[in-house]
Structure 1
Amino acid sequence: MTEFGYFLSCEEFTPAQLVEQARLAERAGFTRLAISDHYHPWNDAQGNSPFVWGVIGALSQVVRLPVTTLVTCPTVRLHPAVTAQAAATADVQLAGGFRLGVGTGEALNEHVLGDRWPPFAVRADMLEEAVEVMRKLFTGDLVSHRGTHYTVENARLYTPPKGARLPVYVSAFGPRAAERAAEFADGLVTMSPDTELVGRYRAAGGTGPVIGGAKVCWSEDRERAVKTVHRLWPSELLPGELPQVLPTPRHFEQATELVTEEMVARSVVCGDDPQAHADQLRAYVGAGFDEVYVGQIGQEQEGFFDFYREQILPQVA
């Protein structure tokens, strides 16, 4: 059975707002939380980007829902040994309810220390080795590792994860990446309800959950909702590898000058039509997703949660 969670966008909201959204999500009937991990927002209009691990600590004190990062990059800005410690602590705080979603990252967040931004094939190798390092550390044993990309010397997590194995979900957006994820991931993360991609993951031996998510903009005024998405999240409509290689919010603002309000209206669920919201979630269910996270764009949060509690979740849950 598909579970429906709420997506907390660190790029758009302050830590206090994210914590309040988590409270509202739990009351509305969402059964899980996901949270983004960014150093920068996609554009200056979004205006935020708190340290995700601090926010997760706060969430653990106010809600009882499991939390998944969608997604963390444990390869460049943060060494996998440091990411492992952060993830293990989050899992203890959440009483075993943390799931580590990881991906190959974006230059937007990972270039900030001045490191070279590698091509995708190298980043994919780095990610697989990083997951290997983190899993060794999650055992609580003393770990030394000398690999192609990472070195760890005499490291031990004295506060290991709550469970015997902290699940690591891997993000993939193409068929080859999904097949590779099936080899070492505990689950697949991909945002579009792509039945073929899910099938490739399963055919390659992937047995873990398939996780996805979508942003919407609920409002009683659909035109206002479209304008809100166009102002805050036009980056959602950028094609191909652009989101992985552009280095600054200013570059995203330049690229998204090509995104029109008409494009947003065609691509993003906006307004208060229950059928449109429910149909989007059913598309993920039909594609074989196990967890689907919905994120509300803009400040009309309470109206969104009332709408989903009363009209959407009862239809699809």
Structure 2
Amino acid sequence: MVAFGYTLMTEQAGPRELVRFAAEAERAGFDFEVMSDHYFPWLDEQGHAPNAWSVLGAVTQATERVELMTYVTCPIMRYHPAVVAQQAATVQLLSGNRFTLGLGAGENLNEHVVGRGWPPVNVRHEMLVEALQIISELFQGGYVNYAGDHFRVDSAKLWDLPETRVPIATAVSGAQSVEHFAPLSDAMIAVEPDADLVGSWNSLHKAESAKIAQLPVCWDPNRDAAVRRAHEQFRWFAGGWKVNAELPGPSAFAAATQFVTEDDVAQNIPCGPDPDPIVAAAKPFWEAGFTHLALVQIGGEHQDGFVEFARDRLLPALNEAAN
């Protein structure tokens, strides 16, 4: 079975709106909800970046059924891993064991704000390995001391631990990240429908584990309007994650994507009122072995219409095609 999720995208809506969207998406029949964790939007046109963890606390009380997840939190600079572990345990308690901690090596866009520079990717992977070790040890209970190359922990303990340990899902993009993170994670996150990546993960992960991906879409009754909005707010997506992780702010993303056209965006993001292009774009993910796919509706002011469309047409079409 493939589960279909809804993305609470902090870059394009304020905190009150995100909580309302979460409740509406649950009522519409989405299986799970993921939330981005950003200090900046990708582009000025998106216009928002509330604190994800505060919003998640409210979402736990506005929903009852859907699984919740960060997609993703970076525990290596802006947050210390001991703080992330405390936040995750608290959200698990508030949600009644519906939370998965999604982690990744981060983007310069969000992490530069603490003024520590931006390490190369190999160093970020080393830091994430240490962060995963610290968080996992704290989830086990008891006092934790840790002295690594990048982090120290001095007599830390989580005093409010849920009965169900928080699952950890980690973002990977290639063989190196799979090798580092699969042994320390319960589930895999990736952005491309790469069957080889799934196979590499499975070879290192003995238990059956979730593979979670994300797909941007732009629903609108008018396809031309959807294409224009997707270009305005999501052209940053064209750079790919190796580029996106390095750029320092919205102005850099605007400059890097100044030559991306509306046609370029329309070829890569399904736009308009028809569910068939979305189903076609989603199909490679479950064919590659992904078990969970979260949809991103582009445009904060167009979530209500999208959720109604998902309830009446899109989710039935996806479930029929995948399940």
Take 1:157 and 1:51, find their aligned partners in 2: how far apart are those partners?
Answer: 22
Amino acid at match of 1:242: V
Corresponding residue for residue 246 of structure 1: 247
1:18 and 1:103 mapped to 2: Cα distance? Answer: 22
- CA offsets 1:143-189 (integer angstroms, 9 cap, x no match): 111111111111111112341x2111110122332333322211110
Measured against aligned partners, the alpha-carbon deviations of 1:37-66 in whole angstroms (never above 9, x if no partner) come to 011111111111111110001001110222
Paired residue type of 2:136: R
Matches within 5 A, 1:61-100: 61-64=61-64, 65-100=66-101
Deviating more after overlay: 233-242 vs 61-70: 233-242
What is the alpha-carbon distance in structure 2 between the residues aligned to residue 72 and residue 266 of structure 1? Answer: 29
Deviates more, 1:274-283 or 1:42-51: 274-283
Please tell me whether residue 12 in structure 1 is matched to residue 12 in structure 2. Answer: yes
Question: What is aligned with 1:309?
Answer: 311
Kept in 2, the 8 Å contact 1:8–1:35? The answer is yes
How big is the shift at 1:313?
Answer: 1.3
The one-letter code sitting in structure 1 at the alignment partner of 2:40 is: H
Which residue in 2 is equivalent to 1:29? 29
Partner residue, 1:136? 137
Secondary structure class of the residue paired with 2:62: coil
Secondary structure, counterpart of 1:75 in structure 2: coil
Q: 1:141, CA displacement in angstroms?
A: 0.8
Which residue number in structure 2 is paired with residue 196 of structure 1? 196
State the secondary structure of the residue aligned to 2:228.
helix
Q: Distance in 1 between matches of 2:317 and 2:233?
A: 29
Q: Distance in 1 between matches of 2:71 and 2:241?
A: 19
How many residues of Structure 1 are paired with residues of Structure 2 in the alignment? Answer: 316
In 1, Cα distance between the equivalents of 2:11 and 2:249? Answer: 13
Residues 7 and 295 in structure 1, CA contact (< 8 A), matched pair in contact too:
yes
Q: Distance in 2 between matches of 1:301 and 1:213?
A: 17
Secondary structure, in 3 states, of the residue corresponding to 1:282?
helix
What is the distance in 1 between the residues matched to 2:288 and 2:151? 37
Instruction: Describe how 1:98-247 pairs up with structure 2 within 5 A.
Output: 98-163=99-164, 165-205=165-205, 207=207, 208-239=209-240, 241-247=242-248
| Structure 1 gap segments, 5+ residues each | none
The Cα of 1:236 is off from its aligned counterpart by 0.8
- Letter of the structure 2 residue corresponding to residue 239 of structure 1: G
Structure 2 residue identity aligned to 1:233: F
State the 1:308 CA deviation.
1.4
AA aligned opposite 1:198:
V
Whole-Å separation in 2 of the counterparts to 1:206 and 1:151: 30
TM-superposed deviation, 1:206: 5.8
Contact 1:2 1:289 in 2 (8 A): yes
Check 1:287–1:134 CA distance in 2 against 1; reply closer, same or farther (3 A cut). Answer: same
Q: Identical aligned pairs, as a percentage? A: 39
Structure 2 matches for 1:270-285, cutoff 5 A? Answer: 270-285=271-286
The answer on whether the counterparts of 1:169 and 1:187 sit within 8 Å (CA) in structure 2 is yes
> What is the TM-score when the length of structure 2 is the normalising length?
0.95
Counterpart position of 1:2: 2
* TM, length-normalised to structure 1: 0.96
Structure 1 distance, partners of 2:177, 2:158, is 30
Instruction: State the 1:203 CA deviation.
Output: 2.4
Aligned AA for 1:222?
Answer: R
CA contact (8 A) 2:8 2:18 kept: yes
In the TM superposition, residue 118 of structure 1 has moved relative to its aligned partner by: 0.8
| Structure 1 residues 311 and 105: alpha-carbon distance in aligned structure 2, compared to 1, 3 A threshold | same
> Does structure 1 retain, via aligned residues, the 8 Å contact 2:147–2:153?
yes
Helix, strand or coil: the match of 1:295?
A: strand
Alpha-carbon distance between aligned partners in 2 of 1:35 and 1:61, rounded to the nearest angstrom: 15
Residue 19 and residue 172 in structure 1: after superposition, are their counterparts in 2 closer, same or farther (change >3 A)? Answer: same
Distance 2:39 2:138 in 1: 25
Deviates more, 1:44-53 or 1:240-249: 240-249
Considering only aligned residues, what root-mean-square deviation do their CA atoms show, in Å?
1.3
Q: 1:229 offset after TM fit, Å?
A: 0.8
Q: How far is 1:240 from its partner? A: 5.3
